[in-house]
Amino acid sequence: MALQSSIEEVTENFSLFDDWEERYRYLIDLGRELPAMDESLKTDKNFVQGCTSRVWMQADVKDDVFHFVADSDAHIVRGLIALLMIAYQDKNVGEIAGVDIEGMFKEIGLDQHLSPNRRSGFFAMVERIKKLAVNS
At a CB cut-off of 8 Å and minimum separation 6, what does 39 contact?
none
**What's the rounded Cα separation, in Å, for the pair 21 and 91?**
31
Q: Is 77 in the site for other proteins (CB under 8 A)?
A: yes
Q: Is 85 a residue of the active site?
A: no
**For other proteins, which is the closer residue by CB, 1 or 51?**
51
**Rounded to 5 degrees, what angle do the CA atoms 109, 115, 119 make?**
130
**3-state DSSP call for residue 70?**
strand
From 1, 16, 51, 97, the catalytic residue: 51
Phi, psi of 113 (to 5 degrees): -75, -15
* Binding to other proteins, residues 53-72 (CB under 8 A): 53-54, 72
Interface with other proteins by CB under 8 A: which range of 17-25, 41-49, 87-95, 125-133? 17-25
- Give the catalytic positions in this structure: 51
Q: Under the rule (CB under 8 A), what is the footprint of other proteins?
A: 20-21, 24-25, 28, 51-54, 72-77, 120
